[in-house]
Structure 1
């Protein structure tokens, strides 16, 4: 389905995926390479970057359930969305200021928290932007257009970073321009959602806001544990999304530690975006034919094989290209269908509150994944062992998802 055939609300919601994906692409491909120029010689990019991502994920996971509960109140969802996008874009643009690795990581952690926080509110807007029978389709469209849309500012960033020296622009200045380009793109593509998608599902405001917030969180926890299907899905999601996030966040730094040329890394990851665009759309269509659960099981099994390939066979640029293409085939599908499946299982007026817990499961998983990679790499001195350590989580995720009842 083309963007033009969607409703204005659906199209506006999908466009934000194009905005936030630009930052994700930059953080995956170029920022770790730039960060390597700031660290001391001989230091591992995987270790430092892994700990930074762990801290960002941990802080976000602690905050989002409370913020999500507050955002469910009438009129709050959009305010929280605007706040996280605005703060994150400013922090992203400011990444070109620090000249030391520590200062850079502090600002990056702030930008990363705001990016992922905005995506929690964005995900929760799905229940306001479309109808339940279209969750799979619209969610898949979001990831698909996010992949292809992120390529536009990313190519512009590549031109100023890699092509800049030919016209007298140093790589350092080029990266500063790349941060600014991406921040502007992020804000620009948040505007349609802010203007056209409105909070139609909400909780009424209470007289005692603090008490109502925490009592609501308690009720949500009880409902999650009483609902077997929702409980098993969230546990499965906790396991398999760990590996997905870790591969996204650590792939470039892993390739850098293996000695693969940075240009090869960046171009291969750009290929991932082009492959992921049609793949995410196909996944949305296949879910309607074969069911969301079955397609998620296929994606989890594929990611397990991808992890084994990365650990045992990836040593040079050609293998990294193979890895990037394989990730592109399943990345959009597993993320889009996880989001839409969760939306089907929760009460819509508590969407932010539930997505706050959904984010805990996703972000604590990301804490575990990046921590495992960093710790095992540091202990063994072998990045491949670090990558291999996350394979067991795909196995656990597959088993839990398999046990989830159909109805």
Structure 2
């Protein structure tokens, strides 16, 4: 299969078109596979559970001491998410450089996906006061998730013509939310029935965490079989030390070369801002619901399941809106909706599950579409042959891997002791992201990297 089909999808004969559909379906199933980690682990179970484990290890002042550093037990999870992302920055950039240099996008995608799945399965063994084990596994799994997702995103420019990319990206997100939602249904059934089958709630949570790793590993086999190999952008040096040095020089060259595309960098800066806000809402929602709104574990799971279900339709709906008004305008509208939703969450009364479900539905409506359209819009702003490296930079702040947002969230709670203050502090990310994105001349940015711009942006 040719490395890129950006302009050929509409003119290919039927067999080639059918082969392209098969590759697209394989790519969709990668979202189906790794959405289990995002939904079950990051969004629902691990935050509250790891916080309980940290509380078990806390001293009389409510602090734990990882590596001798005093940290409030309630801030351990968001701080660990931040640490995992800071570590993933280097790993993602190096992996992207290696992938583009060698053409081993698919092999690296699979390697990191299976490593992340193994770390997620190992979360079954986190119990008692073993908060450091849980934190370490989260770091490994979150890094692996980020790298594998970035490498998967790098296939997008070769999966559809420019005018079709928003729709393909939106379908991928919809399939991902369907997969994450299905596993959540199964985990909800297990958690609700844990007493009937003789399990403690903690054991049920541990099984749910491990199930996400098994799901991730099992369904990753499909994109591994269907995604095509891609050509390298440069010959691969033979000696190992020369290869490593060549990769680092290639990475440094990529970072220097990005200065030639300031409009791409401007879009990336906007995305890093508003997506930090999105990702922090996702990763800290269960913690906020439990500690501030006094929601039980069953309500939290049902709320996140509602997000998954509504997000399927939301991703497809915003994809259709983008076909009429353009991706940029649709994303800007979604950021306004995010701001309203966050304010609603701040003022929402505690101990009222119906309002929590309303908040979940509002999040789901804009969640999938804002992320899917951001991914497809960024795919137009990448020079050909550098997809993995650029999407590694993009992925730094993608689903569940932001670091500035959790850091601000954790600091706000550390200083004030209020999760409401922590959640409303995230408004700054949406406001800055909106203003910066508004200033990006998207068509000129696409033409600057040498790509064909779709008619409607």
When normalised by structure 2's length, the TM-score is 0.83
Q: Are 1:104 and 2:104 counterparts?
A: no
Deviations 1:162-214 (A, max 9, x none): 21211223323323332332222112221121111113354132434344423
In the alignment, structure 2 segments of 5+ residues that lack a partner are 1-17, 57-61, 64-71, 444-457
Partner residue of 2:306?
A: 271
Equivalent residue in structure 2 for 1:391, among 423, 427, 450: 427
CA change 1:406–1:54 in 2 (3 A) is closer
8 Å contact kept, 2:151–2:388: yes
CA distance in structure 1 between the aligned counterparts of 2:74 and 2:281, rounded to whole angstroms: 12
Larger Rg: 2
Structure 1 residues 4-403: aligned runs within 5 Å: 7-27=21-41, 28-40=43-55, 46-99=74-127, 100-200=130-230, 202-207=232-237, 208-258=242-292, 259-316=294-351, 317-360=353-396, 362=398, 366-403=402-439
CA change 1:158–1:73 in 2 (3 A) is same
Q: Which fold has the larger relative contact order, with Cα–Cα distance below 8 Å and residues 6 or more apart in sequence?
A: 1
CA shift at 1:345, angstroms? 0.8
When structure 1 is superposed on structure 2, of 192-201 and 357-366 the one drifting more is 357-366
CA change 1:174–1:324 in 2 (3 A) is same
When structure 1 is superposed on structure 2, of 348-357 and 170-179 the one drifting more is 170-179
When structure 1 is superposed on structure 2, of 176-185 and 227-236 the one drifting more is 176-185
In the alignment, structure 1 segments of 5+ residues that lack a partner are none
8 Å contact kept, 2:82–2:401: no
CA distance in structure 2 between the aligned counterparts of 1:365 and 1:109, rounded to whole angstroms: 10
Q: How many equivalent pairs are there?
A: 404
CA shift at 1:292, angstroms? 0.8
When normalised by structure 1's length, the TM-score is 0.93
CA shift at 1:76, angstroms? 1.4
Question: Over aligned residues, Cα RMSD in angstroms?
Answer: 2.2
8 Å contact kept, 1:65–1:360: no
Deviations 1:29-77 (A, max 9, x none): 1222332442326576641111111111111112211111001123311
CA distance in structure 1 between the aligned counterparts of 2:399 and 2:177, rounded to whole angstroms: 21
CA distance in structure 2 between the aligned counterparts of 1:363 and 1:225, rounded to whole angstroms: 26
CA change 1:241–1:348 in 2 (3 A) is same
Partner residue of 2:66?
A: none
